[in-house]
Every structure is written in C-alpha cells, then in structure tokens.
Amino acid sequence: MHDFTTLLIEVGALLLLLGLLSRLSRRFGLSPIPLYLLAGLAFGHGGLLPLDASEEFFAVGAEIGVILLLVMLGLEYSANELVGNLRSAAPAGLIDGVLNALPGAGFALLLGWDWVAALVLGGITWVSSSGVIAKVLADLGRVGNRETPVILSVLVIEDLAMALYLPLVTAVLAGTGLLGGGIALTVAVGTVLLVLVLAIRYGHLISAALSAKDPEALLLGVLGLTLLIAGIAASLQVSAAVGAFLVGIALSGPVAHHATELLSPLRDLFAAVFFVFFGLTTSPQDIPPVLLPALALAVVTMATKTLTGYLAARRVGIAEPGRWRTGLALVPRGEFSIVIAGLAVAAGSVEPRLAALAATYVLITVVTGPILARLPDFPWFKRWLRNRAAAQRPASIPIHD
C-alpha cells in the first residue's frame, strides 16, 4: 500500500509539472519536448530527485506513447495519399537519406563506435520531427504556403522509411546480425505492401466496422485494434511502432477523422511520458562528455537538412524564399530520433554514450529549429535574398527595387 501511495504521488507530481512546462513552452512558441527531456533528466538516475516507485509505470507508458505517436501519424494519410507521395517525392527522399543518415553513421565511426551504433546514429540524424514541424508551420501561419506540400512529402517519405528501418534496426539490436536484419526487412516490406493493398481495397470495410457515431465505442475499438496489431507485429519482430503506423494508414474517412480527435489527448499524455522516460533513463552526468560531439553533429546535420529541403523545393519550382523556408523548417529532430535511441537503450548492446548523445542532439535541434525557421521572415534575411538575386541577374538587365 505504501508503494502504491508513493506511485500516485510521484506520477501525479510529475504529470502536473509536465503540464506547467507545456504551458510555459507554448507561451514562448517552443516545442515542449526539450523541457520534457530535461524533466526526465532531473528526476532520473543521477538526477536531483530520482523517482524509483514510478519507473515501471513510465516504462509501460513510454511504450504506449510510441504506439500512439505512430498510429496518429498513420491517421494523417490515406493509403492512396501515401502511394502518391511515395512516387512524387521519392527523389527528394533519397537525397534526404543520403545527406542526413550518412553523416550520423560516419560520425559514429569517427568516434570509434561499431557498425551497429553507426546504423542507429544514422537513423537518429536522418528523420525530422513531424510533431515539432507541424507546430512550427501552424505558429508561423505557413500551412497554406506553396512550399508546405514539399515539406509534408519529405516527412511522409521519412515515415515510410521508418516503417522499413525500424524492423531492420530492431533485429540487428537483438543480435540476429545482418541475415536476421535482412529477413526482418523483407518481412517488413512484405507487411507494408500487404497492408497498403488491403487499405486501398478493403480499408472502407475496416472503417465501417468501427462506428464514427459512437465516440466511446470508436475510442475503445481503435485503441484496442492498435494495441492488438502492435503486439502481433512485435511478436513477428516487425516492430510494434510499425504495426501501429499501418493501422493508422488502414483507417480512413470519418472514422480516421473522429479517431484523431479522440486519440489526440491520449497521444499527448503518453508521448509526454515517453519523452520523460527517455530522460529518466539518461544520467545527467553522461551529457557533459558528449556535449561538444552532439553540438558538432547538430551543426553538420542541420546544414544538410536545410540543403535537403532547399533542393526538394527547387526541384518543384519553388522560389528562393520558399526554398529556405522549406529547408529551415525541416531542421528539428524529435520523436523518431528518441524512439530509435530508446530501442538501442532497451537492447543494451550498443555504445553506452549513445543515449546521452541522442538526448543532447535532440535538445539542440528542437530548441534551435523553431528559431531558425523564423529566419526567412526577418528583414535582414529578406534583404540578403534580394541582394543575392540581384547579383545573379545579368548585368545588362536593369535592377528595380
């Protein structure tokens, strides 16, 4: 009874703190993710006030948080939209992977880490944060901008890539080697293709079985289906996160719309728990030794991500200001990077400094990303773009202000 009382006190106090931190971050137009990570660092192993009784609760909540993050991402797109985006944005996705995954993998090798750690760090530096970017676009009033579909296409390609990457890295971390990873990747590809085909042809039947008119039944049905498929996927070594993502893709129409509204509060709650738990499992004493490497890695990959967006926007004819808005908006890394690092920490078979490096890296990009996204709106940046455009015009053509 004493342990249960302590559990209630610890969970209640920490959730209350997270609510206050979220409100504080919104007031300054920032993402709450770095504050959640800092809260976890403060109350985790080696922190100011370690929470022992509630650690198991937050561990389970973190797993549910990952599942809800992924199913909500899946609900944003129909199977047809995903297939269409995959075809149109495939070149940009390839550039994105090369420019942002390779620096992370190469950096791990430069630090003397093994190829498994390089595979994990490459994934961490590759994927932008859909949640943070969506918030930034809404805050800056750019949702209707011409470059926004380019940003969303890059994010969709990354989401699909994660559906293939996560099973591969999970199998490798489990010690099955490249052969096991190849098998897991083959299974993942087959599963994704199967679900896409089923979603395109029979998705309306799945949605019809879940009534959008009864909120309680819809919430229980979608949540139950998501957890069930996530569990089955995990048992098949495909990754629970990928299973949840595919459930979201399969649902469509009013069911997907209402499910998004009903699941959003749960997603926000358990996602916060997930980020806190990652901080809880990272010792603050491990961060100072990796601060400079994390900063160097952040500088390099923020530049490569900006270049990715710039090239993707230029490819579809977006003007110079829109190219910069695209690139700078893609800078923040977040939920997927922490998910990948969390898988590595759970496996316990990779470089022990990886968790601290990932947490520090995400903190740097999430804090600086929204600030960098505002640069194209500053007068001095607009003047620089005008001068740059003027310098590129032929000398014989008069220049008018």
Per residue in 26-43, pLDDT (tens digit) is: 787 666 777 887 888 888
* pLDDT confidence of residue 37: 78
Taking residues 277-284, report their average pLDDT: 76
* pLDDT confidence of residue 1: 54
Q: What percent of the chain has pLDDT above 90?
A: 15
Per residue in 109-123, pLDDT (tens digit) is: 999 998 888 999 999
* pLDDT confidence of residue 399: 46
40-43 contacts, C-beta under 8 A, 24 or more apart: 40/275, 40/276, 40/277, 40/278, 40/279, 40/280, 40/281, 40/282, 41/279, 41/280, 41/282, 41/284, 41/287, 41/359, 42/279, 42/284, 43/14, 43/279, 43/280
Q: Are 253 and 199 in contact (CB under 8 A)?
A: no
378 pLDDT higher than 80:
yes
181 or 164, which is more confident? Answer: 164
Question: If you average pLDDT over every residue of the chain, what do you get?
Answer: 81
Taking residues 315-324, report their average pLDDT: 89
Per residue in 238-250, pLDDT (tens digit) is: 667 767 877 887 8
Taking residues 42-51, report their average pLDDT: 72
Q: Could you state, in order of their start, the residue ranges of all structural domains in the chain?
A: 64-378
207 or 314, which is more confident? Answer: 314
- Residue-level length of the chain: 401
401 pLDDT higher than 50:
no
Taking residues 166-188, report their average pLDDT: 70
Whole-angstrom Cα Rg for the chain: 22
* pLDDT confidence of residue 400: 47
Per residue in 320-361, pLDDT (tens digit) is: 889 999 999 999 887 778 878 887 877 776 777 888 898 889
CB proximity list for 100: less than 8 A, separation 6 or greater: 125, 126, 301, 304, 305, 308
* pLDDT confidence of residue 26: 77
* pLDDT confidence of residue 164: 75
Q: Are 94 and 159 in contact (CB under 8 A)?
A: no
Q: Are 127 and 106 in contact (CB under 8 A)?
A: no
Per residue in 126-161, pLDDT (tens digit) is: 999 877 787 778 777 787 788 888 887 888 788 778
- Least confident range of 167-171, 198-202, 393-397: 393-397
226 or 281, which is more confident? Answer: 226
Domain 64-378 has CATH 1.20.1530.20: yes
Most distant pair of Cα atoms in the chain: their distance: 85
Taking residues 5-34, report their average pLDDT: 83
* pLDDT confidence of residue 53: 65
175 or 271, which is more confident? Answer: 271
Q: What percent of the chain has pLDDT above 70?
A: 85
188 pLDDT higher than 70:
no
* pLDDT confidence of residue 267: 84
Q: Tokens for 79?
A: 């199977």
Q: What's the distance, CA 13 to chain centroid?
A: 27
* pLDDT confidence of residue 65: 83
